[in-house]
Each structure stands twice: as structure tokens, then as C-alpha cells.
Amino acid sequence: MGFDVTVLTMFPEAFPGPLGVSLIGSAWREKGLWRLETVDIRGFSKDKRGFLDDTPAGGGPGQVMRADVIASALDGVEVRGRPLLYMSARGRPLTQARVREWALGPGLIVLCGRFEGVDQRVIEARGFEEVAVGDAVLAGGESAALVAIEAALRLVPGILGEPASLSEESFEDGLLEHPQYTRPRRFEGLEIPEVLLSGDHARIASWRREQRETTTRERRPDLWARLAANQQAKGR
């Protein structure tokens, strides 16, 4: 069946971008494990000048992408049960749990906004899920779309080829990933931690778990608090 991705954008030339390289790229070009379609929203403008935006209702700076133009672009796409995503700074944060759900499905349809955003009515009428990739505002949704799509693709069976490599990654169990090391053994005065050279797999596993907990506690206290609350709830 494969994993089908459709992107609605004013700039189809932004794709595949990083999705076209490395294992994800070969899974697309050579293995056909996923497919990419881009839809140029500009082709659905009913204005003779090709405009697809207008001034904000109620006044204010900038322009807003028209609901009827977005709807026309989407109506030409076969949805086939795929989630509809709108990349927006006001959306719910992208999470590994949500990405995992997408990876088990038939694919994604992603809308990339520009200007001041998209008319809210098309978001509601067509059932778009608003998704944010971070607490920052971008010039458009294309970069955010690439992030969301890549996050899902790498979990699609067969694309990365080694399921075991995903088991201890950041967010998979609520913790951030442990630090990684490789040769040379000594680099600019810094050594690989001795425990990683011990050959004692139990000690290595314990050290990695401790590192993951420490890193999460220090860098993402929100994740640490959530993990502690979940563990407390399970212990009741």
C-alpha cells in the first residue's frame, strides 16, 4: 500500500527537500515505500491576477489565505482516510505519540500556510488538525511540514530498516535520549565514558537509563513532571 503524502503549498519546489536524501529518500525513490504529491495552491485562484489572499476581516496588517481557494485545492485530492494537518504556530504541539499514530495510517495531507495564515472557516469546515512544531513563528508552513512528515516517515515500517534503533530514542518512553559516543577514544582531552567500554551490558544499560533521566530532568522539566505523574498514577 505505501504511505501517501500530499502537500498543499504555494511553493511545491520546497519539496522533497531533506525528505529526498538518505534512507527516507531511497525508500521513496527506489523502494516505493512512500509517495509524495505536491499541490500548488496558486493554481486554484479564481482571481484573474492569480491572487489567493485578501485583507483580514476586521482590519489589521498582512493578508489572509482565502477559504474558497484552499477548499478548491483540497477538493482535488483523494483524502482516503488520511489526517488533514495545517501547520500553525497556534496549533497543538507535535508529539511523538501523535506521530506514531500517523505512521500506522495511510499517509498525511499537509496544508502549508503563508502571510497571516488561513481563513479559519476552511480549517473548521474541512476538519484540519492544527499542528505546531515549536514555540516560534515561521515565514510559512513548508519547513514545519517537512519536520512533521519526516517524523512520521521514519516510523513507517521498513523505511529505516532497523526497528530496534528506535526503541531508546527521545520521547519514545517519555525520556530524552542518552548521549552517544564513537571512535576516537580520546577527542580534545575528552574520553569516552569508561562504562561504555566495559563490555558489561547490564552496567551500560543502567548508565544509559541514568543519563536519560538526568538529561530529561535538567532540560525538560515538563516531561519529567509528566513522567513522574504517570508513574504515580500507575502505582495507585
Summarised one tens digit per residue, pLDDT across range 6-49 is 999 999 999 999 999 999 999 999 999 999 999 999 999 988 77
pLDDT at residue 163 in the model:
58
Q: Which domains does the chain have, with CATH numbers?
A: 3-153 (3.40.1280.10), 167-234 (1.10.1270.20)
Q: Which of 158-167, 201-210, 227-236 has the highest mean pLDDT?
A: 201-210
Residue 1 has pLDDT above 80, yes or no: no
Listing DSSP states for 27-49 in one string gives HHHTS-SEEEEEEEGGGG--STT
Q: Are 8 and 39 in contact (CB under 8 A)?
A: yes
Q: What is the mean pLDDT of residues 190-217?
A: 97
Helix and strand tally (H, E) in the chain?
Answer: 7, 9
pLDDT at residue 166 in the model:
60
Q: What is the mean pLDDT of residues 145-174?
A: 83
**What sign results for the dihedral spanned by CA atoms 140, 143, 149, 152?**
negative
Summarised one tens digit per residue, pLDDT across range 38-70 is 999 999 998 877 789 999 999 999 999 999 999
Q: Are 137 and 89 in contact (CB under 8 A)?
A: yes
